[in-house]
Amino acid sequence: MFSHPFIKFLGRFYRGNTAAILGSVIIATVIFMSACASVIADNEPNKRVARGHQPPSAELLLGSTRSGKDVFSQVLHGGQISLLVAFSASAITTLIAVAVGISAGYFGGRIDEFLMSLTNVVLVFPQLPLLIILAAFLGQVGPLVIALIIGLSSWAWGARVIRSQTMAIRNKEFILAAEVMGESKWRIIFVEILPNLISIVVGGAMGTCIYALMAEAGLEFLGLGDPTIVTWGTMLFWAQSNSAFVVGAWWDMVVPGAAIAIFGGGLALLNMSIDQISNPKLKTGGYIKTWRRMKVEVEAKRAAL
């Protein structure tokens, strides 16, 4: 019963939407390749398999690092951790943003005042410096802690957006009708309000995902992560500290950089398409198509005369 309109919706979403299709394909490919890393790559990511800084070749598709490890295998295995951090940070952020935003917007009054002052405190903290200080303070931190730090520090903006949307929906008559009907508060929040927010929630989650991917790579690149764990960020860190560019081993640096850029780009493409649904001001595609069709019709009429 549920899947039927959902599939119809997906069909409408993807039809003629090149950006969304491209974005989804990129995301799916990167996730798939990372997930199947040990099947696709022959070598262990942390095993010395060649001499240092070998250029890409038939055996070593993307060359080797300075310590002779397989870059191809590293980028696939590193993706597992990097993506996991990005997704879990985004999940934490989204959960908190939704919980705080909807509660503040729906209950209003005291609860709203309290939650919003909390949100504002989190919001005014400069995020990146905070991340750096926290990470530096905790010493070299593992991916889990990085995901937690990012997740717990970046929900404030999303919470504000969701709060204002909730307040707009809260006074719609269908919510009043549900209240008059005697629906419980929690059902009203989860069944009546939340589905109406799904596009901004999903859009926000993807935006945070991009941000978390970058933030994680940034922290690790600065040497604040645990360098013994292979991720895209630590790959960049090692390449930089071994002066990969200076000695001409560009692949050591470019490969993890490109991985981040490609995945981030895929997310951005999909996010853009979702934005177009949730933000009616950006919904131009349909109008242009209608206009073209009308133009064709008018010209056909003119030709007939």
18-35 helix and 3-14 helix, angle to the nearest 10 degrees: 110
Q: How far is the CB of 5 from other proteins (least distance, A)?
A: 7
Of residues 188 through 247, those in contact with other proteins by CB under 8 A are 192, 195-196, 198
d(CA 284, CA 286) in angstroms, rounded, equals 6
Binding-site size for other proteins (CB under 8 A) equals 16
Q: Which is nearer to other proteins, 104 or 253 (CB)?
A: 104
DSSP bridge pairs for 48: 69
Q: Can you spell out the DSSP letters for 233-281?
A: HHHHHHHHHTTTTTTT-HHHHHHHHHHHHHHHHHHHHHHHHHHHHH-GG
Q: Which is nearer to other proteins, 51 or 172 (CB)?
A: 172
Of residues 140 through 199, those in contact with other proteins by CB under 8 A are 172-174, 176-183, 192, 195-196, 198
Q: Which is nearer to other proteins, 53 or 170 (CB)?
A: 170
Q: How far is the CB of 198 from other proteins (least distance, A)?
A: 8
User: Which residue from 128, 102, 133 is spatially nearest to 211, judged by alpha carbons?
Assistant: 128
Q: How far is the CB of 194 from other proteins (least distance, A)?
A: 9
Q: How many CB atoms lie within 10 A of CB 206?
A: 23
Q: How far is the CB of 113 from other proteins (least distance, A)?
A: 13
Q: How far is the CB of 175 from other proteins (least distance, A)?
A: 8
Of residues 18 through 57, those in contact with other proteins by CB under 8 A are none
**Quick one: 98 exposed, middle or buried, by C-beta within 10 A (0-12, 13-18, 19+)?**
buried
Q: How far is the CB of 117 from other proteins (least distance, A)?
A: 18
DSSP bridge pairs for 69: 48
**Cα Rg of the chain, angstroms:** 24
Q: Which is nearer to other proteins, 123 or 194 (CB)?
A: 194
* Binding-site member from 3, 5, 124, 137 for other proteins (CB under 8 A): 5
- What is the token pair recorded at 220? 């690790």
Q: Which is nearer to other proteins, 77 or 170 (CB)?
A: 170
Residues in the chain: 305
Q: Can you spell out the DSSP letters for 83-137?
A: HHHHHHHHHHHHHHHHHHHHHHHHH-HHHHHHHHHHHHHHHHS-HHHHHHHHHHH
Q: How far is the CB of 106 from other proteins (least distance, A)?
A: 14
Q: By CB under 8 A, is residue 114 in contact with other proteins?
A: no
Q: Which is nearer to other proteins, 133 or 176 (CB)?
A: 176
Q: Which is nearer to other proteins, 32 or 174 (CB)?
A: 174
- What is the token pair recorded at 125? 């903290």
Q: How many CB atoms lie within 10 A of CB 228?
A: 9
Q: Which is nearer to other proteins, 8 or 51 (CB)?
A: 8
Q: How far is the CB of 187 from other proteins (least distance, A)?
A: 8
The residues of the shown chain that bind other proteins, judged by CB under 8 A, are: 5, 172-174, 176-183, 192, 195-196, 198
